[in-house]
Amino acid sequence: IPRLFKRSVKCIGGIHLQVADRAMCFFENDYFLNILKTYKEKTFPMLVPIIVDLAENHWHKILQESLIALKTILKEIDPLAFDEALKLNPQQKRVFAIKQDEDDRRKMDKKWESLNNKIRSKQADYQEPQIPFQSASLIRDFNELYAKIYDKEKFIQA
């Protein structure tokens, strides 16, 4: 259940309007709402802070109106759980966080580094694979089409 709602919140909070709109359609389904009500102690801390924030700050007015309606629905389901979800302290919010924070990212990078070092110690010819989405590398280095576009822009600007 947490994975389902975490994914739906990621979709709603994402940059793609159609994906967010389709994810909002789940909340029109009675079966989905019954799951939400049944597991509200797990789902509300995930949903409520994000929905409230998006209802106030979303860039698309129609989706913002839908988010306001969803916020109202969530508040009507259980006003007490709704208010409790908004009062979570930062450590509790971190448990339900959608995006990976810097500390988690660093831990994961260190773990990968230690795994690569173990492989390197056992295989002398091991070469660490290049990862396309790191702060030190650019997407164009891994996408031929992007490289062609980039080269054309560079050619035009010269």
Render pLDDT for 121-137 as a digit per residue (tens, 0 to 9). 999 898 887 766 565 55
| pLDDT, position 78 | 94
**29-62 pLDDT tens trace:** 999 999 999 999 989 998 999 899 889 988 888 8
* Domain presence at residue 115: no
Residue 69 pLDDT greater than 70, yes or no: yes
The pLDDT confidence band at residue 82, using thresholds 50, 70 and 90, is very high
Residue 158 pLDDT greater than 60, yes or no: no
Residue 155 pLDDT greater than 60, yes or no: no
| pLDDT, position 151 | 56
- Range with the lowest mean pLDDT among 58-67, 100-109, 137-146? 137-146
* Domain carrying residue 63: 2-95
| The total number of structural domains that make up the chain | 1
| pLDDT, position 106 | 84
pTM of the entire structure?
0.61
* Domain presence at residue 11: yes
Residue 105 pLDDT greater than 80, yes or no: no
* Domain presence at residue 134: no
DSSP conformation letters of the chain: -HHHHHHHHHHHHSS-HHHHHHHHHGGG-HHHHHHHHHTHHHHHHHHHHHHHHHHHH-S-HHHHHHHHHHHHHHHHH-HHHHHHHHT--HHHHHHT-SSPPHHHHHHHHHHHHHHHHHHHHH-TT--PPPPSSSTTS-GGGT-HHHHHHHHHHHHHH-
Counting residues of the chain whose pLDDT is more than 70, the rounded percentage is: 75
* Domain presence at residue 83: yes
Mean pLDDT score across all residues of the chain: 82
* Domain presence at residue 76: yes
* Domain presence at residue 49: yes
